[in-house]
A and B are shown apart, each in its own frame.
Chain A
Amino acid sequence: MLSSAILIPAVLNGLLIGAIYALVALGLTLIYGVLHIINFAHGALLSAALFAAFFSFRLLGLDPYVAVFLLAPMFFVIGYTLQRFIIGPASHGDDRNMLLVTLGIAVVVENALLYAFRADTRTIDVPYAFQTIDVGWTFLAIPRMVGFVAAFAVALTLWLLMTFTDVGRAIRAVAKEKLGAELAGIDVGHIYAVTFGLGTACVAIAACLLIPTYYVNPHVGDAFVLVAFTIVVLGGMGSVPGALIGALLVGVVESLSGLFLGESLGQIGIFLIFIAVLLVRPSGLFGARA
């Protein structure tokens, strides 16, 4: 079990799956960092994005790597609208209400998908889905490699956005000190909505990168939600680099503990690391001190 022939591929696999987790977690950490809510609807939105990617392929013939340029903006708009016109007004600015509202939305979205599309598992078959690169120890799936690169690209883009653009500065201002930002003339409702939109766009990107090697059904997003929440808190809520690094770490931990403890018990590794980190650093790896 400790031979490099198994360890190295396990770590590589962990990094690759971690990249997918990163894409899901990046959106969530933004939303948390600014709106201070755990977005319960994230998983359902991932399922919806996967359906969108599926239909883009089936009905429009768009390869997922092309569809992402269509779906990311589309889901940005969806996220913006959701926050601006439903979540924001419904929660009256109260965190706990936002929690319940996103919970309600999750139930609605998931069951709307079930009602509209039934529960059949759907997959797409793209020519590169089974192509691999032989790195000696193992075969690395091409779609996963693309996902890995994409995670870094998206993280970098988000970081650049946050640091150098006006919108990014406004977002950071609102995240840090909402009242002050308001007084400085920033439209907080709009910024909230932009943030939610960005988070949802990330989910759409994650979906497009996931679909070549995974499947689609109304409940599929649920499998990623807990891990994503864990990563967000582990990395420090609101931290983009935290989400990326946290995700890669979680991926590797999951992979290695799966190797040593079996896939079922191994899942515990993610949560144990999470608990351990939080007990030592209560605001996460890269989080601002509370």
Chain B
Amino acid sequence: MKSLIPIAVVLAILAAVPFVVHSNVMLNFLVVALMIALAGQGWNILGGYGGQYSFGHAVFFGTGAYVTAILQMRYGINAWVGFAAGVAAAAALGAALGALTFRSGLRGSYFALVTLAFAEVLRIIASVAPITGAGVGTLIKLDLGIRTFQFQSRAAFYWVILALVGVSLVTAQLIERSRFGVWLVAVRENEDAAKALGVDANKVKLAAMVISAAITAAAGCFYAQYFLFVDSGIAYGTWISVQALLTPIIGGVGTVFGPLLGALIVKSLGEGAKLVAGDAPGLDLIIYGAVLVLVIWFAPRGLIGGLAHARRLLTRHDVPATPSTQEARRG
């Protein structure tokens, strides 16, 4: 329980933000950043802790978004029920995909690209299938109210996404501290050795995939409620797959707060680049890309790792880190 204190502190501080900040520009920025952080935290469970890099997490994001949108628009189902259904559907999808890929022994980059292929398959199907509205997409009817999960105030959306992020943080922390987490990390570090020690690697990876899918799908369902429009490019496009992996890596893979930190940094970077670059099309993105490269260059273990490294440099410079201790601290 003590380990949950940092999370509670962070959540409390972030929850207080709308009382201090009234700018909708800022709230919108934070809502989107938190949504990305949520998607990233999902990825982090499988990729950060489990070491299975997925390039197609859009598969879960999009499924969450579409399921909730379609259930509301075509079947008149309540938005909150739709939300839960979206998460459940993605979890089921995760189980199916995991069973398929892990049993075939797909690892590393092969696994990564297979997930990408699945995302593309779904994107293509979604762009032609009548149920998703095909190319036209699905528009959720504007109907403000708690019942329909559409809020007049951005602050309300903010608190909802913050709560979801909170759940994901707690989940990550619980995993980190559990035996399951130990197995997961063991699989990440050396799958064969873990297997030799009796860890059922496939089951562990599968469980991670299911949890990962559920969390990322929640971000997708939230997107649908916030923007009220879903099409195949939004749902299953590479943009969200990239964001989902970019943010944990920047913030620190395999850490509880990594994706959250990464999302805030990456989004702030985008805004900062606009500030510097002005209106010329493309200039802000050039800066954004360049800074991204620089961040990796000088904080290769993500910012969390970088901060830890900096602290070590500052406080223990008389004891040089040996290769073995560096290895132990990595990740």
Interface residues in chain A, defined as those with a beta carbon under 8 Å from any beta carbon in chain B: 32, 36, 38, 86, 89-92, 94, 96-97, 99-101, 103-108, 110-112, 114-115, 118-119, 218, 226, 229-230, 233, 237, 262, 264-265, 267-268, 271-272, 274-275, 278-280, 282-284, 290
Contact = CB atoms under 8 A, between A and B. Distances in A.
Given A111-B283, A282-B105, A282-B110, A100 B124 contact: no
A264 B289 CA distance: 32
Would you list the 9 A-B pairs with minimal beta carbon distance, nearest first? A107-B289, A104-B292, A108-B289, A115-B282, A114-B282, A111-B282, A104-B293, A90-B297, A111-B285
B246 A96 contact: no
A33 B148 CA distance: 51
Interface of B: 53, 55, 100-101, 104-110, 112-114, 116-118, 120-121, 124-125, 127-128, 238, 242, 246, 249-250, 253, 280-283, 285-286, 288-290, 292-294, 296-297, 300
Given A32-B109, A112-B282, A103 B292 contact: yes
A105 B106 contact: no
A54 B40 CA distance: 39
A107 B292 contact: yes
B128 A262 contact: yes
B104 A279 contact: yes
B285 A278 contact: no
B110 A226 contact: no
Given A111-B286, A278-B110, A92 B128 contact: no
A279 B249 CA distance: 28
A107 B117 contact: no
A118 to B, nearest CB: 8
A282 B100 CA distance: 12
Contact of A284 (B110, B120, B125, B294): B110
Contacts of A278: 104, 106, 110, 113-114
A226 B242 contact: no
A226 B246 CA distance: 18
A114 B246 CA distance: 23
B116 A103 contact: no
Nearest to B288: A107
Contact of B113 (A86, A233, A268): A233
Contacts of A105: 289, 293
A157 B288 CA distance: 38
A238 to B, nearest CB: 11
A226 B280 CA distance: 29
A108 B290 contact: yes
Nearest to A41: B289
B93 to A, nearest CB: 14
Given A90-B294, A97-B296, A280-B104, 13 more contacts: A38-B109, A108-B293, A114-B281, A218-B282, A265-B124, A267-B120, A268-B124, A271-B121, A272-B121, A274-B114, A274-B117, A279-B101, A290-B107
Contacts of A108: 285-286, 289-290, 293
B286 A112 contact: yes
A279 B100 contact: yes
B249 A104 contact: no
A147 to B, nearest CB: 25
Nearest to B109: A38
30 contacts: A38-B113, A91-B300, A96-B53, A97-B249, A99-B249, A101-B293, A101-B297, A103-B292, A104-B292, A104-B293, A105-B289, A111-B285, A118-B281, A218-B282, A230-B117, A233-B110, A233-B113, A237-B110, A264-B128, A268-B124, A271-B118, A271-B120, A274-B117, A275-B114, A278-B110, A279-B101, A279-B104, A280-B104, A282-B107, A283-B110
A115 B289 contact: no
A106 B114 CA distance: 22
B323 to A, nearest CB: 13
A93 to B, nearest CB: 9
A70 B280 CA distance: 32
A32 B112 CA distance: 13
Contact of A265 (B128, B289, B296): B128
Contacts of A36: 109
A226 B120 contact: yes
B117 A271 contact: yes
Given A100-B250, A115-B286, A275-B121, A86 B293 contact: yes
A55 to B, nearest CB: 18
Nearest to A275: B117
A104 B125 contact: no
Contacts of B110: 233, 237, 278, 282-284, 290
A190 B249 CA distance: 27
B49 to A, nearest CB: 14
Contact of A104 (B116, B283, B296): B296
A197 B101 CA distance: 33
Contacts of A100: 246, 249-250, 292, 296
Contacts of A119: 281
A222 B249 CA distance: 23
B153 to A, nearest CB: 34
A212 B57 CA distance: 37
